[in-house]
Structure 1
Amino acid sequence: MLDKLLGVASALAYAAGTVAAPAAPDAAVVLTFEDPNIVESSGLVAAGKLFVTTNDSGDGGRVFVVDRSGATVGTTSWEPGPRDAEALAPAGDGAVWVGDTGDNARSRDSVTVLRVPVGRTYQTVMPASYELVYPDHAHDAETLLAHPGTGQLFVVTKDVFGGTVYAAPKRLSADRPNELTEVAHGPSIATDGSFFPDGRHYVVRGYARATVYSFPDFEVVGSFRLPQQRQGEGISVGGADELYLTTEGQFTDLLRMELPPDVAAAMAPTPMPEPDPAPTAAAGDGAGSWWPWLAGIAAFAGVGGWLLIRRGAAA
């Protein structure tokens, strides 16, 4: 219920600000979900030509694999279902992380992430499950990040006055709880996020805006408006650094947008300075000034040797 109220409040604020605010960025419709079972797309992973999404709370344990026609071409189901699945993150080829991290009432002692296989198939599995424990108290969270290089997971909480980024252990244990570590501040009302392929940046979205951060220092690189959506809760970065966006609702559109040029420029690697050319020795300067001395010593030694030979011959 709190999610709905936040969504309505955000939509009203968005509408109230459209007169003075700059126009929403251009976005293209990639597909429209055809599956009537996809009613609350709350997490998104772009996997090549396929997209993986999951419903918000109230659904069982399942994820949907959708091609670019909008048709569902595979599902993965499991039991028991999650309490409140809110996020997805890449988990290597043919798998995603499902974040059972939603907690509107802030009453859960711990949350769970599950590694779920996905593909163009309909399957029921028993996924590997890992318990995560916050170091302070319970939080509501809808954002799960997976670093593309190390695979380490990060949870970003959803709070009105600013969230928190928590890091999971680099190696998760399935046999005992895994304690999260607070590493940075996050934006307000974070609904989803994704790392960029370079592993040096990640993006976290809310209902109307998104923010790009640097990694591993967690500094803000830039913030920008998102296309207007009913209740945007899904974002994923494609291989070309394109952003894909989804929203709750049945038969909704999956959108694609490019990063604003100023944000893309701020993310560009800083060019390395050109090395200075190797110095050339000039006569009388630096190392080159030694050769007259060496030549003089050699000449002196030669003359001295010649004199000694003459004196020996005269004797």
Structure 2
Amino acid sequence: MTSPADRVRRPRRLLGVGAAAVLVATFGMGAASAPADDDVASKVLFAFADPDINESSGLVARDGVVVTVNDSGDSNRIFTVDPAGGETVGVTRFSGEAVDIEALAPADDGEVWVADIGDNLGRRDTVRVTRVPFGSGERQVPGTGYDLVYPDGAHDAETLLVHPETGRLYVVAKEFIGRLYAAPETLSATEPNELEPVGSVLGIATDGAFLPDGRHLLLRNYGQAAVYTWPDLERLATFALPAQKQGEGLAVAEDGSVLLSSEGVDAEVLRIELPAEVREQLAAAEPTEPAEPSGSPDTDATGGATEGSQADGDSGTSLRDVLLSPWVVGGGLGLLALALLVRAARSTRREH
């Protein structure tokens, strides 16, 4: 015989199962529907040998070395790694307190930009980028930091880009429809630098980089990558990435080699070859002017891009992409499962 206590527990158990169903459906569907890894050729370049590199999130390949940084939770430090064997050959620590470091981008003269731009809860008034030297040996430096502020409220971000010719910085908000923002051409070290919306790009971007020609950029998320023209942000191609434990980092070396990193101790760094059709399009691409966007897109009252601000609907992430994304589809199925379980719980109460 069912006791009154059991009647109370049963709906609660059902709701608990329902909540689990939402998570499983959302993330399980996302993982199951992630693109296959047969679109690109890849090889293991090396594995990080340093146990202190346990959450490689940002990646830069310059001057024959690889520079990486851990995800949030680490201190203000970057690692210089010899790709010949994966050994750490240098660690640079810089002043300040890390909040949520997520990305790196190359700078001139043996330096990188360190991007403390993570904001999972969307609460930060400003985010920060710091210019830091890399190389062999241990060093402690002050670092030159600059605060950035969004024009339309806080955003979580994991991608910092720097144009190879102009040196201008760009941040990509990590959202279902990714948004690319441009920093001022000249940064102020004393006042917040307001970012300017440029356009929509790959959703849930975890890293990216300009190609050496300065006329294309490459963005990645956990399962795929997209190539865009610059400055008009026409999406040339989207392709699947090799499977990784939690692939987040991407670097483009001076010769155009593309490297991918993943979180985890002893994580492998992969070198991939872009799909043949992408290489053909890049080779056939005509130079375009200017090297920078001609202006920001039309925006609505909330600062978002308005209809028609993208090039012929072929750039960025379309509404169809969002609606058909595995995360949205999985989430919808999970919510449906939860609704059915709630209905069953109510029926159980009425019966007793």
Fold in common (TM above 0.5): yes
TM-score class, shorter-chain normalisation, is 0.7 to 0.9
Question: In 1, Cα distance between the equivalents of 2:54 and 2:123?
Answer: 26
Specify which of 125, 128, 133 is matched with residue 112 of structure 1.
128
Amino acid at match of 1:15: A
Q: What runs of 5+ residues in structure 2 fail to find an aligned partner?
A: 1-21, 288-352
Pick the aligned partner of 2:157 from 138, 141, 150. Answer: 141
Aligned twin of 1:311: none
CA distance in 2, matches of 1:13, 1:59: 28
Change (3 A) 1:22 1:237: closer
Matching residue within 168, 171, 174 for 1:155:
171
Residue 41 of structure 2 aligns to a residue in which SS? coil
Q: CA deviation at 1:93?
A: 2.3
Aligned counterparts, 1:188-203, within 5 A? 188-203=203-218
Q: Which of the pair has more CA radius of gyration?
A: 1
Deviation of 1:271 after TM superposition, in Å, equals 6.4
What is the letter of the counterpart of residue 221 of structure 2?
G
CA–CA separation in structure 2 for the residues paired with 1:89 and 1:124: 20
Mapping of 1:158-197 within 5 angstroms?
158-159=174-175, 161-197=176-212
Deviations 1:90-116 (A, max 9, x none): 011210000100000000011000000
Which one has more relative contact order, counting CA pairs under 8 Å at least 6 apart?
2
**1:204 corresponds to which letter in structure 2?**
L
Cα deviation, residue 256, structure 1: 0.1
CA contact (8 A) 2:34 2:223 kept: no
Offset of residue 13 of structure 1 = 2.7
Quote how far apart the aligned CAs of 1:22 are. 6.8
Shift of 1:230: 0.7
Name the counterpart of 1:53: 68
Equivalent pairs counted in the alignment come to 264
What's 1:207 paired with? 222
1:96 matches 2:112: yes
What are the ranges of 5 or more consecutive residues in structure 1 without an aligned counterpart?
Answer: 273-315
Q: How does 1:30-41 map to 2 (within 5 A)?
A: 30-41=45-56
Cα 1:136/1:243, change in 2 over 3 Å: same
Q: 1:212 to 1:220 in 2, by over 3 A?
A: same
> What letter corresponds to residue 25 of structure 1 in structure 2?
V
For residues 32 and 170 of structure 1, do their structure 2 counterparts lie closer, same or farther at Cα, with a shift above 3 Å needed? same
**1:79 aligned partner:** 95
TM-score, normalisation: structure 1: 0.80
Equivalent-residue separation in structure 2 for 1:232 and 1:219 (angstroms): 25
* Inter-CA distance 187–10: structure 2 relative to 1 (3 Å threshold): farther
| 1:89–1:194 Cα contact (<8 Å) kept | yes
In structure 2, C-alpha distance between the alignment counterparts of 1:22 and 1:122, rounded to whole Å: 38
1:24–1:228 contact (8 Å) kept in structure 2? no
What's the offset of the Cα at 1:12?
5.2
The alignment's TM-score, normalised by the length of structure 2, stands at: 0.72
